[in-house]
Chains A and B, each alone.
Chain A
């Protein structure tokens, strides 16, 4: 079931189109990565979803809300560079935004403690935010976005400004939060998307180029390729391999035989049988799947 449906969403700034007609849905309970290079329009899209920017055209429909209900009751948002009142303590800030989200003072207090614990800054709860490090602010940012248990949590580049350890921890935190809410996060780092997302929206130049479950996309963009390394005179095997009808092409690259096949199962059986019977000095026989990275490069470069 879709939490949000986006139709024909467009946004221009002073005549310059930043987002050019998006159509997508976010499925409940999933982690969705909005992946794209810098300047693709990711931040603009998230800001429109959170209500900070008004779409030039198009509609955003939250399935949970009634006609007149404030959608902000159901969303949590962490901007790329969150800023806080630096004179407040982390806990004060959480209680403040909690009350703004219509929690009672007691509820907000309880929820603040719970979240400070969860994001791992409980020991800094009573410190002024001005003294927090970048990583701590990022966690506080996630906590403030989660304070009212939103149905959709949106995070703009949540890990790209963090060091490897901080990045690891925030990804883990997102993994845990996934049980409670739908998460949409933007990133330009493929590894981050690959690591935790279920669904992927690939964005480039203000358009969604590909979308869907990441597993399906991987299969879709997979080129079937076999990598074979043979100990002696690999070049002599090229013609032998090309003779199989299941094999389209074969070439030698840096001592590796790269074999493009049209039927993986058949090619695998035929080659292995031949190798066994003819006693090929095999070192390596590998079925190579393209990674998301290759797909990303392929899609983005057209």
Chain B
């Protein structure tokens, strides 16, 4: 156990990055007028799929023009 806690400062950036990705994806989802696919579905994917969810949303879900 002791070793895991000592690892935390090193693993923390991974968790922070994941959180930031999730938050900006959610902000962008809320601000978007239209998305490809249902908004609620995207919200679930963004929250549940770890960092894959936000990436998928930015690439596929956002309408870019």
Task: List chain A positions with a Cβ less than 8 A from chain B.
Answer: 83, 85-87, 130
A87–B65 Cα distance when bound, in Å, is 7
Bitwise interface map of B from 30 to 57 toward A, beta carbon under 8 Å scored 1, else 0: 0001000000000000000000000000
A270–B34 Cα distance when bound, in Å, is 72
5 chain-A/chain-B pairs, Cβ below 8 angstroms: A83-B65, A85-B65, A86-B65, A87-B65, A130-B33
Which residues from chain B contact A87 at a C-beta distance below 8 Å?
A: 65
Which residues from chain A contact B65 at a C-beta distance below 8 Å?
A: 83, 85-87
Task: List chain B positions with a Cβ less than 8 A from chain A.
Answer: 33, 65
Q: Which 5 A-B pairs have the closest CB atoms?
A: A86-B65, A85-B65, A130-B33, A83-B65, A87-B65
Which residues from chain A contact B33 at a C-beta distance below 8 Å?
A: 130
Which residues from chain B contact A86 at a C-beta distance below 8 Å?
A: 65
A33–B33 Cα distance when bound, in Å, is 38
Could you tell me the distance in whole angstroms from the C-beta of B36 to the nearest C-beta in chain A? 15
Chain A's closest residue to B64 (CB) is: A87
Chain A's closest residue to B65 (CB) is: A86
Chain A's closest residue to B33 (CB) is: A130
Could you tell me the distance in whole angstroms from the C-beta of B50 to the nearest C-beta in chain A? 28
Chain B's closest residue to A86 (CB) is: B65
Chain A's closest residue to B32 (CB) is: A130
A232–B15 Cα distance when bound, in Å, is 97
Which residues from chain B contact A85 at a C-beta distance below 8 Å?
A: 65
A130–B62 Cα distance when bound, in Å, is 14
Could you tell me the distance in whole angstroms from the C-beta of A129 to the nearest C-beta in chain B? 10
Could you tell me the distance in whole angstroms from the C-beta of B25 to the nearest C-beta in chain A? 17
Chain A's closest residue to B34 (CB) is: A130
A87–B33 Cα distance when bound, in Å, is 11
A226–B31 Cα distance when bound, in Å, is 65
Could you tell me the distance in whole angstroms from the C-beta of A89 to the nearest C-beta in chain B? 15
A203–B17 Cα distance when bound, in Å, is 61
Chain B's closest residue to A128 (CB) is: B33
Could you tell me the distance in whole angstroms from the C-beta of B32 to the nearest C-beta in chain A? 10
A277–B12 Cα distance when bound, in Å, is 110
Could you tell me the distance in whole angstroms from the C-beta of B7 to the nearest C-beta in chain A? 41
A57–B9 Cα distance when bound, in Å, is 71
Chain B's closest residue to A131 (CB) is: B33
A85–B33 Cα distance when bound, in Å, is 14
A247–B33 Cα distance when bound, in Å, is 68
A83–B65 Cα distance when bound, in Å, is 9
Could you tell me the distance in whole angstroms from the C-beta of A78 to the nearest C-beta in chain B? 18
A85–B65 Cα distance when bound, in Å, is 6
A86–B32 Cα distance when bound, in Å, is 11
